[in-house]
Structures are given as C-alpha cells and as structure tokens.
Structure 1
Amino acid sequence: MNETVQQRGATMGEKKEDRRVQRTRNMLYDALFDLMIEKGYDAITIQDIIDRANVGRSTFYSHFMDKEQLLLGNIEQLRELLKEQCSTHSSLSTERVGGYRFGFSLAMLQHVQSHKQIYRAVTSKQGGTLVLYHIKRMLMEITREEISAILPNSDNSKVPQDVAIDFVVNTFWSILTWWMENNMPYSAAEMDQMFHTLAFSGVSAIQ
C-alpha cells in the first residue's frame, strides 16, 4: 500500500515538473517570437531572450543549447500540429481537385493567418534565412510522407520523388508569400484551394 502511495506521489511530482518545464519553455518561445517581430531573428541574442522571458541564463541553458535549438523546438510543435491535421484530414480526399488533398496546407495557412506578425517578420529581410530554411525543411519532411502515397519512388518514374516534393513545397510557399505580401485578400480555405489546383496540375502530369 505504501508503495502504491509512493508511486502516485512520484507520478504527481513528475506531472508538476512536466508542467513547469513546459511553462518555462513556452515563456522562452513567446520571448523569441516577440523579439523576432521587433528586431528579426538574426539580431536576437540569448541575453535578449532571457531578459524578455525574465529567466536566468542557467535556466535557458537547462532547456536549450542556443537560440537555434529554441527555434527548432517551436517548429517541432508546429510539425506536430500539421501532422495531426494530416491524420485528421486524410492525404487523399475526393473533395479536392483530382482526388488529392495535402493534409498540411490548410492547417499551415490557418496558422499563418493566426500569427501574421511572426510570419511577416520571418519573411522580411531581417527575418533570417535560417528560420525560413528550417520551416521549409519541416514542410519538405511532411510532404515527403504524403507524396509517397501518391507517387511511388521508382527508377521508372518520370520525375523523382525529391523533385516532386520540392515542386509542391515551393508552390505552396510561393502562394503563402504572395498571400502575406498582398495583405491576405482571400481566406485560408480559398488559398488552400488555389494551392491544390496548382499543385495537382504538376503532380498529375508526372503520374
């Protein structure tokens, strides 16, 4: 009985610790975002982040090695959100053009719409090429999983999978960039439909 009580106590302690860890990480994520909007990723220092989050330097380094790992931690959260949407809305759907439905696109567009200032900072000249690199790499990895279900990777394929993946992601990113630069004149759902129309025209041609 005592053993059970001890186990429950340990579990509750772990949950409290997990909540504290996540709370601290969220404070650091928020600090990074605020600073990216204000001054751009490249200009941010660790001191800027810990001052904004109001935590000690040792606390920062107990969670992240540097600001790039902090950035990657947040992009990983975004990846999980997009993958969850990919699972919820199957990659292949008869509701979309030609039967194809890339699961990540609408969720990503909605995320951008909800975080306009951050994404505008990311795509600005001061945003930092590193941020764009990691976001696009994450989209490439998600798209690879979806393309694999559409376009088998074989020596007989007209176009290699890697080329198709690059085409889909760059098509999406071009649409996303245009959308932001023009103050989002269409809804996320409308932009998603445009993306699928353009992406499908390319993917269907190489099947």
Structure 2
Amino acid sequence: MHKKTDLRILRTKQSIRKAFYELIQEKGYESITIQDIADRAIINRNTFYLHYQNKPDLLETCINELLSELKDAVVLCPVSMNPFSISILETVMKTVLEHISCNKTFYYAMLIEENRIYQFRAKMENIIKDKLNGVGDPSQGQSHLAISKELLLEYLVSAFMGVVNWWIKNDQPLSVEEASSQFSRIVSYGHLKAAGILVEE
C-alpha cells in the first residue's frame, strides 16, 4: 500500500511540473497563478499546497533538482590534466545535451525566449565553469597561458551556452554526437577553419 501511495505522489508532482513548464513557455513565470497550474495539472489547489508552499518554492525545487542531476552527470565526465582539453569540452557538451534531451520542456522553459529564468542560466553556467576549471592539477598546463585564464573560461562557457541555446531553440537540429563534435572542432580550429573557409593572409 505504501508503494502505491508513493507512486501516486510522484505522478502528481510530475503533472504539476509538466504543467508549470508548459505555462512558463506560454505566458511567462510572473503571469502564472497557482490556479493556472492546478487547472493544467487537473488537480485542486489544496493538492498543490500538499507538495509546494507557493510558486517560488516550486520553481526553486525544479531548478535545484534538475541542476543537481546535471551536475552529477557532468562530474562523472572523464578528467584531464589539461582543463581546456578538446576531448573534455566535447564530452561535457555531449553529457549536457543528453540531459537536455531527457528534459526538453524544462530546459526550453528555463532558457529560451523572453520567458526564460535568468537565475537558471547563471547556475547552469557555474556547473560548466566549475567542471572546466576544476579538472586536473591546477598547477599543470596553465602557467604558460598567453591570455587570462578567467577570460578563457568566460569565452568557453559563453560559447558552450550559445550552442546549447541554439540546439534547444531549433528543436535539436543535430544529433547529440554531431553537435558536440562540431562544437569541439570550432573551439579547436577556430570558426572559419572549422567551417572549411579559406582565410587569405
């Protein structure tokens, strides 16, 4: 009996979150009411309050749980003595896109268009930055950098998130593997050479 009750609670929470994500896309977070969520999830308001205190609590719970899953997956990516290794960038991108594929509605609601949740993007960027900045031995491979390490990290994370946003917004036009591979080639060779454009001196 206990297992059946747990399953029912899980399904209710999933319905609430699905409704929440859809409504963010349609009308924006600020415009959503608890009644909107309840109506879309086909529950009553009292059922909503059994699981969440209010709308901010629901948002924070959704963000924290999904980003915790993402962080756990990214942490498991292989490490390298070189924190800016092309293979690391490709592997992390592949891991992130795979996670997005399993949670498309959530990521679209959080990252795309005028209804996006800015705090979500900032937290996601920090996960990527921490991975790139934290792998390997901090004393290895960085003393010879010809540019600021902080600037390099900002550039890589911005490019990374730009690809992620493009991939989500355009309904995953490339496979996870191809998008990850092309991203690593752009970073490795520069955008013109990666695109096969001959640059005259």
TM-score interval, normalised by the smaller of the two chains: 0.5 to 0.7
1:56 to 38, 44, 48: 44
- Cα pair 1:31 1:49 within 8 Å, conserved: yes
Residue of structure 2 in register with 1:65 after alignment: 53
- Cα pair 2:98 2:176 within 8 Å, conserved: yes
Deviation, 1:166, is 3.6
Q: Secondary structure at the match of 1:28?
A: helix
Q: 2: CA distance between counterparts of 1:164 and 1:63?
A: 42
Q: Percent identity?
A: 28
Deviation, 1:59, is 2.8
For the structure 1 residues 98 and 184, does the alpha-carbon distance in structure 2 shift closer, same or farther, using more than 3 Å as the test? closer
For the structure 1 residues 99 and 52, does the alpha-carbon distance in structure 2 shift closer, same or farther, using more than 3 Å as the test? closer
Give the aligned residue type for 2:113. S
Q: 1: CA distance between counterparts of 2:61 and 2:34?
A: 15
For the structure 1 residues 189 and 165, does the alpha-carbon distance in structure 2 shift closer, same or farther, using more than 3 Å as the test? same
- Cα pair 1:50 1:56 within 8 Å, conserved: yes
Alignment of 1:99-118 (within 5 A): 99-101=87-89, 104-113=92-101
Q: Which moved more, 1:169-178 or 1:84-93?
A: 84-93
Q: 1: CA distance between counterparts of 2:59 and 2:7?
A: 20
Q: Are residues 1:148 and 2:130 paired?
A: no
For the structure 1 residues 164 and 67, does the alpha-carbon distance in structure 2 shift closer, same or farther, using more than 3 Å as the test? farther
Query: Structure 1: any 5+ residue segments left out of the alignment?
Result: 1-11, 203-207
Alignment of 1:1-207 (within 5 A): 13=2, 15=3, 17-92=5-80, 98-101=86-89, 104-113=92-101, 119-121=107-109, 122-125=111-114, 127-128=115-116, 131-150=117-136, 152=138, 159=148, 165-182=153-170, 184-198=172-186
User: Going by fraction, where is helix more abundant, 1 or 2?
Assistant: 1
TM-score normalised by the chain length of structure 2: 0.67
Q: Secondary structure at the match of 1:89?
A: coil
Deviation, 1:48, is 0.4
Q: Secondary structure at the match of 2:135?
A: helix
Query: Structure 2: any 5+ residue segments left out of the alignment?
Result: 191-201
Paired residue total: 183
For the structure 1 residues 30 and 120, does the alpha-carbon distance in structure 2 shift closer, same or farther, using more than 3 Å as the test? closer
